[in-house]
Amino acid sequence: MKLKAIAILIVTGGMISHSALAGTTSATLTVDSIVTMGTCTAQLLDSNDKEISQVAIGDVYISELRNETNKKAFKIRSSGCAGLPQKKGLVKLTPRGIGCGGYNANSAGFANAKNGAGAAGRVAVEVWTTKNAEIEAGNEIFNCFSPADKTVNLSSVTATQHFDYDLSAKMVVAEGRQLSDVTPGEFLSPATFTISYQ
């Protein structure tokens, strides 16, 4: 957060006679300022730059769960940034009204909010800080059970230049479960991204 103050001082050149200064015992200074908080505009976009409110993975087959190939890329776009003294953002993903995946409901994966007949069982969704949801140097998983801020470098972002924070989601067999435990059905996992610009 940055407080930005703009002071305007107008200097006028000219000649003032000595007699005009003789009676002056005080002076007044008026400062106009605007105080603003550093911020950016954030949008959730699919891989085609279309604004979305949910990441639709689509149909997932057992073979895709086994091979973890059902990945869906998306991104958070930060644009119109101003007043960011540290040139960074902190991004956190937390479950909204649901628990976490896994046998003991304490894994990194996000659980299914649907249950009962017609709901997919013993699966979870993972969200990664990369386009391809893989363990690679510098890539991290958002942890449902222990949410933590992920730092995003926004040094290249300006009021006219945006930055895309690449992410991806994939369906997985829930931690502590086996592929043979999975039951087919619908899956929905509400979660919220919280972004703090600094």
pLDDT per residue as tens digits for the range 86-100: 999 999 999 999 999
Is the pLDDT confidence value at 1 over 70?
no
Nearest to 77 by CA among 56, 54, 46, 55: 46
Quickly list DSSP for 42-87.
Answer: EEEEETTS-B-SS-------HHHHHHT--EEEEEEEEEEEE--TT-
Report the chain's mean pLDDT, rounded to a whole number: 83
pLDDT per residue as tens digits for the range 135-174: 777 789 999 999 999 999 999 998 899 999 999 999 999 9
Average pLDDT over residues 120-138: 88
* Domains defined along the chain, listed by start: 39-197 (2.60.40.1090)
Position 82 scores a pLDDT of 85
Is the pLDDT confidence value at 21 over 50?
no
Is the pLDDT confidence value at 189 over 70?
yes
